[in-house]
Amino acid sequence: MQSKNSFQTLLPVLWIFIISIAIGLVFKEALTKTGFNIFVLSVGNFILFLATAGSFLLFQKALQNNNPHVVLRMIYSGLALKMFVCVVAMLAYVLVMRNEVNKMAIFGWLGLYCIYTFTEIKILMRLSRRQKNG
| pLDDT, average across residues 6-21 | 89
Span 31-90, pLDDT tens digits = 999 999 999 999 999 999 999 988 888 887 787 788 878 877 887 888 888 889 999 999
Span 87-111, pLDDT tens digits = 999 999 999 998 899 999 999 999 9
pLDDT at 78: 83
Contact 94, 68 (CB under 8 A): no
- One DSSP character per residue, the chain reads -HHHHHHHHHHHHHHHHHHHHHHHHHTHHHHHHTT--HHHHHHHHHHHHHHHHHHHHHHHHHHT---HHHHHHHHHHHHHHHHHHHHHHHHHHHHHHGGG--HHHHHHHHHHHHHHHHHHHHHHHHHHHHHHH-
pLDDT at 51: 93
pLDDT at 1: 43
* Closest to 115 measured CA to CA, from 12, 11, 5: 12
Query: Model pTM?
Result: 0.85
